């Protein structure tokens, strides 16, 4: 392949709409700007969560409409999260594409990066929506980091949340 056809390197920013995810987006956009790369923002709908909700559902709606309602609500939510990343990138004049994944968040994020050679780095927050003030890595973050020694051919960068870590240095 001649060099002019080489796809632009991508930085995969995983976001769950949390403050940490936003910090990850800021860092990713700053880095993409410096490196002449593009951002791909990914938000994953944990469809398996629906299954556990469905088991406890006893209302009048049919299963299918409950599932449709769940998916529509989540898609709306994730689209909003991805738009926040896009706005951050736009302000820095960095190209950004949004992707919605369906499945377990860590699996979908890792799969996307593994299967696309242009993805050179994954950026995630150290915590997410379920942060409860604990001082350990979030469960999705931990599983993604673990994949570095198993199936991931690119680095993972874990970002401190600027709300949890005032003075976090995200201006790469």
Ligand X SMILES: Nc1ncnc2c1ncn2[C@@H]1O[C@H](COP(=O)(O)OP(=O)(O)O)[C@@H](O)[C@H]1O
Residue ranges in 139-168 that form contacts with ligand X under rule CB under 6 A: 139-141
| Closest to ligand X by CB, 94 or 105 | 105
Q: Please name every residue paired with 40 in a beta bridge, in sequence order, or none if there are none.
A: 12, 97
Which residue among 10, 11, 12, 14 contacts ligand X (CB under 6 A)? 14
Q: Report phi then psi at 137, rounded to 5.
A: -65, 140
Q: Report whether 65 contacts 126 (CB < 8 A).
A: no
Look at residues 117, 35, 112 and name the one whose alpha carbon lies nearest to residue 27.
35
Ramachandran category for residue 165: left, alpha or beta (phi over 0 → left; psi -120 to 50 → alpha): beta
Binding mask 24-53 for ligand X (x = CB under 6 A): x-----------------xxx-x-------
Window of 9-17, 27-35, 88-96, 113-121 that interacts with ligand X by CB under 6 A = 9-17
121 touches which of Mg ion, ligand X, none (CB within 5 to 8 A by kind)? Answer: none
Using CB under 5 A as the binding rule, whether residue 130 contacts Mg ion is answered as: yes
- Token pair 């593009």 is found at 38
Q: Is 130 in the site for ligand X (CB under 6 A)?
A: yes
**Lateral strand order in the sheet of 156-159:** 96-102, 38-45, 10-14, 119-125, 156-159
Cα end-to-end distance, the chain, whole Å: 31
Centroid of chain to Cα 59: 33
Residue choice 43, 98, 128, 160 for contact with Mg ion (CB under 5 A): 128
Nearer to ligand X, 133 or 166 (CB): 133
Nearest of 7, 12, 9 to residue 110 by alpha carbon: 12
Provide the minimum distance between the beta carbon of 93 and Mg ion in the complex, in angstroms, as a whole number: 30
Would you count residue 113 as binding ligand X (CB under 6 A)? no
Binding residues vs ligand X (CB under 6 A):
14-16, 18, 20-21, 24, 42-44, 46, 105, 124-125, 127-131, 138-141
């Amino acid at each position: 392949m001649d060099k002019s056809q080489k796809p632009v390197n991508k930085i995969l920013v995983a976001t769950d709409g949390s403050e940490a995810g936003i910090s990850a987006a800021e860092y990713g956009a700053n880095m993409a700007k410096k490196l002449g790369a593009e951002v791909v923002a990914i938000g994953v709908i944990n469809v398996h969560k629906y299954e556990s909700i469905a088991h406890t559902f006893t209302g009048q709606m049919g299963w299918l409409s409950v599932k449709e309602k769940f998916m529509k609500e989540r898609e709306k939510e994730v689209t909003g999260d991805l738009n926040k990343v896009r706005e951050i990138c736009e302000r820095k004049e960095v190209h950004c594409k949004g992707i919605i994944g369906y499945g377990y968040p860590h699996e979908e994020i890792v799969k996307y990066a593994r299967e696309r050679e242009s993805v050179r780095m994954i950026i995630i927050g150290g915590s997410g929506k379920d942060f409860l003030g604990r001082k350990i890595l979030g469960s999705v973050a931990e599983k993604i980091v673990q994949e570095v020694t198993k199936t991931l051919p690119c680095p993972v960068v874990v970002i401190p949340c600027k709300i949890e870590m005032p003075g976090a240095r995200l201006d790469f």
